[in-house]
Structure 1
Amino acid sequence: MTELMAGLMIGGALFLAVYFVAGRRRRRRIEELTVYLENVNVSGEGTILQRKEDEFSLLEDEIYKTVTTLYRTRETALAAKENYAENLANIAHQLKTPITAASVSLQLLQEQAEDPAGQHDTYYHDAAKYRTTQHDATQNTAVQYNAVQYNAMPHSATQHTAVQHCENIRRQLERLNTLEEALLQLSRIDSGTLKLQYVQVDIFTALTIASDMLCELAAEKKVTVAIPEGECATIRGDKDWTMEAFCNLMKNCVEHTPEGGTVSCEYSQNPVYTEVRIWDNGKGFTEEDLPYLFQRFYRGKNASGTGIGIGLALSKAIVELQNGTITARNLHGGGACFEIRFYSH
């Protein structure tokens, strides 16, 4: 009996010891996890957690996954905030240029309206002064004739200048309208409110219509757009938006193709994707521009004077909305090339 009691006491003591040690271990692990979370919340440190295999392993894994996800979300939010601020600054800059140009033209028109005869009087008095100081009859006759010309010209010159100012204002307003439409399109894409009308789009037809939209620019630049008809290739997408993407890419090529050059297009289809290539025989992209071509408001080293840096970004967004990818590279023989792939699945 005594031995039984001694055994029970020893067993109870061992149980209490094990329970006590296990309790201390649990408290220590809970403290470690608590300190880890406190460090994450207070200082932003401690994302790396030393894993241990015990009864808290599952909880530890879930805590680590949650913290990692929150950190990624935070970094994404910060990047989006910085990108928003940068885009806002770029938009302000893009708006400032045409507004300033239009304001200057309006100011000059106003000055002409307030003093329409100012230029006329200057021409007239200078000519008269010159005429009275001459003694040679031939010179005097010539000066009288010039005075008559000057007397007639200022009004026409003023009209011509006014027309130029009005044309400049029209161009700047057109540029503002283009910027507004592009920003509206991008905002609809970003917000997910852009509704695509999915139909079977014939690639050859889409490329042809896109090139027709650029016929005036191509004629002005004396550039040919070549689209040989190949085997039938189609995608399931939005016809109008697909043509918009193609048009922006072609426009970029036309603007950077020398006079007499050619912008070429070709397409092919396989069970995995439909590929479209658009390239020119110009100078191609500069190496420093290649990583940033599809960024909004980015204008490369050889960008045209009227571009606003949205066309390529818009094309990329449209292609990606239709399960596609777009890349840009330089051809070995010279020239810039865009490659678009629309995936079937």
Structure 2
Amino acid sequence: MLRNKEFRHFAILFIIMAAVTVMAGFAVSPAAGILVLITDAAFGIAFYVFTKARYKSIAETADQIDLVLHNADRLYIGESEEGELSILHSEITKMTLRIREQNDALRKEKQHLADSMADIAHQLRTPLTSVNLILSIIENSSDENERKALLRETEELFVHMDWLITSLLKISRLDAGIVVFQSENIDVSALINSALRPLLIPMELHNITCHTNVPEGAAILGDSGWLSEAVQNILKNCMESAGDNGTIQIVCEDTPLFTGINIRDSGQGIEKEDIPRLFDRFYRGNSDKATGYGIGLALCKMIITRQGGTITAKNHPEGGALFVIRFPK
């Protein structure tokens, strides 16, 4: 306690005042002097004991804060009686718990970043390995038709890699919170046509029929460019599921509470164990026939939910997968 400058000053002042009062008491009479001496001593001892207890409590609190700053796993600040010190303890406890939560969140984010980087490296390594294999086959092949077919396959792999890198960059921008979505009134029919336009040729090549049913005047409030990409990613997934000679149905619901877009394919549906994780990043499903990179649907959900909408997936009672997008009015 004597290290505290204020306490030293108070102790010196108390000693001087006690000496003066004791001398004044003895000047009056010996009994008065003895009474003043006993009173000053009792007051000094009581003040010392009380101050020492407070300093001990403050020291314990300081030790706990130091442990928190050094990433200790345990935090305990004992409760005090009502008063300013109790209020201080309460505020420090809140602060340290908040610091602990932030540290835990940072550790999780760091681990998530490391896992994501590993997933990205794996996702890029797969098509690169295929490209290297194809190039070695082309080098040793003398059949011109085979070489052309392999070159087309290589071109498709590079297109997929370009899409993967672009999608990852978009997800990174969304994660960083630097994307500003526009808020505009979007005609659902125009939105679906915009999403379908780049897919018309692939759908024709695979003889996939698309049926749309959109009520006139149905609209959604959001960013048309980003929402068009989200719908397009769902349609790509449905195309892969439907396969050759398949069908895709797009039905819009326009109710007083929400505007919804239901997209259904004629494929085999979604495995039951895959439904809860279908929109997880880099999740490709447990089936050996699973294709893709686990990026498109994750990006799709981020785009929709961050504009106030919802998206769910399930199996249609009559077969095939059903994606349900809803935007409240």
TM-score, normalising length: structure 2: 0.78
Partner of 1:263: 249
Q: Say if 1:203 and 1:267, in contact at 8 Å, map to a contact too.
A: no
State how far apart, in whole Å, the 2-side matches of 1:111 and 1:281 are.
41
Alpha-carbon distance change, 248 to 62 in structure 1, aligned in 2, over 3 angstroms: same
Work out which of the residue numbers 101, 104, 111 in structure 1 matches 2:130: 101
Please show how residues 211-250 of structure 1 align to structure 2 within 5 Å: 211-230=196-215, 232-250=217-235
Please show how residues 1-345 of structure 1 align to structure 2 within 5 Å: 11-42=39-70, 44-54=72-82, 55-112=84-141, 158-230=143-215, 232-257=217-242, 259-270=245-256, 273-302=258-287, 306-332=291-317, 334-343=319-328
Alpha-carbon distance change, 71 to 169 in structure 1, aligned in 2, over 3 angstroms: same
Report how far residue 30 of structure 1 moved. 0.7
Q: Say if 1:253 and 1:263, in contact at 8 Å, map to a contact too.
A: no
State how far apart, in whole Å, the 2-side matches of 1:335 and 1:4 are.
102
State how far apart, in whole Å, the 2-side matches of 1:68 and 1:275 are.
42
State how far apart, in whole Å, the 1-side matches of 2:36 and 2:315 are.
86
Q: Say if 1:264 and 1:279, in contact at 8 Å, map to a contact too.
A: yes
Residue identity matched to 1:94: Q
Alpha-carbon distance change, 88 to 43 in structure 1, aligned in 2, over 3 angstroms: closer
State how far apart, in whole Å, the 2-side matches of 1:309 and 1:187 are.
15
User: What secondary structure sits across from 1:56 in the alignment?
Assistant: helix
State how far apart, in whole Å, the 2-side matches of 1:331 and 1:42 are.
54
Q: How many percent of aligned residue pairs carry the same amino acid?
A: 31
State how far apart, in whole Å, the 2-side matches of 1:208 and 1:303 are.
33
Alpha-carbon distance change, 337 to 70 in structure 1, aligned in 2, over 3 angstroms: farther
| RMSD, matched Cα | 2.9
- After superposition, the C-alpha distances for 1:5-48 in whole angstroms (9 at most, x for unaligned) are 67655654553344233212212211221232233234612235
Alpha-carbon distance change, 330 to 51 in structure 1, aligned in 2, over 3 angstroms: farther
State how far apart, in whole Å, the 2-side matches of 1:230 and 1:160 are.
49
User: What secondary structure sits across from 1:45 in the alignment?
Assistant: coil
Moved over 6 A (4+): 1-7
| Residue segments in structure 2 that go unaligned for 5+ positions in a row | 1-27
Residue identity matched to 1:15: F
- After superposition, the C-alpha distances for 1:302-334 in whole angstroms (9 at most, x for unaligned) are 486651211011111211332333333344554
Partner of 1:134: none
Report how far residue 231 of structure 1 moved. 5.6
Residue identity matched to 1:172: L
User: What secondary structure sits across from 1:340 in the alignment?
Assistant: strand
State how far apart, in whole Å, the 1-side matches of 2:46 and 2:164 are.
74
Q: Say if 1:293 and 1:300, in contact at 8 Å, map to a contact too.
A: yes
Alpha-carbon distance change, 254 to 13 in structure 1, aligned in 2, over 3 angstroms: same
Report how far residue 207 of structure 1 moved. 2.1
Q: Say if 1:282 and 1:334, in contact at 8 Å, map to a contact too.
A: yes
Report how far residue 220 of structure 1 moved. 4.4
Report how far residue 209 of structure 1 moved. 2.7
State how far apart, in whole Å, the 1-side matches of 2:42 and 2:316 are.
80
User: What secondary structure sits across from 1:47 in the alignment?
Assistant: coil
- After superposition, the C-alpha distances for 1:226-264 in whole angstroms (9 at most, x for unaligned) are 331226333332111111101111222232236444433
- After superposition, the C-alpha distances for 1:65-104 in whole angstroms (9 at most, x for unaligned) are 2222222222222222222222222222222222222222
Residue identity matched to 1:194: V
Alpha-carbon distance change, 214 to 43 in structure 1, aligned in 2, over 3 angstroms: closer
Alpha-carbon distance change, 109 to 41 in structure 1, aligned in 2, over 3 angstroms: same
Aligned pairs, number: 299
The farther-off stretch of 285-294 and 70-79 is: 285-294
State how far apart, in whole Å, the 2-side matches of 1:217 and 1:209 are.
15
TM-score, normalising length: structure 1: 0.75
Alpha-carbon distance change, 11 to 230 in structure 1, aligned in 2, over 3 angstroms: farther
| Residue segments in structure 1 that go unaligned for 5+ positions in a row | 117-157
Q: Say if 1:211 and 1:225, in contact at 8 Å, map to a contact too.
A: no
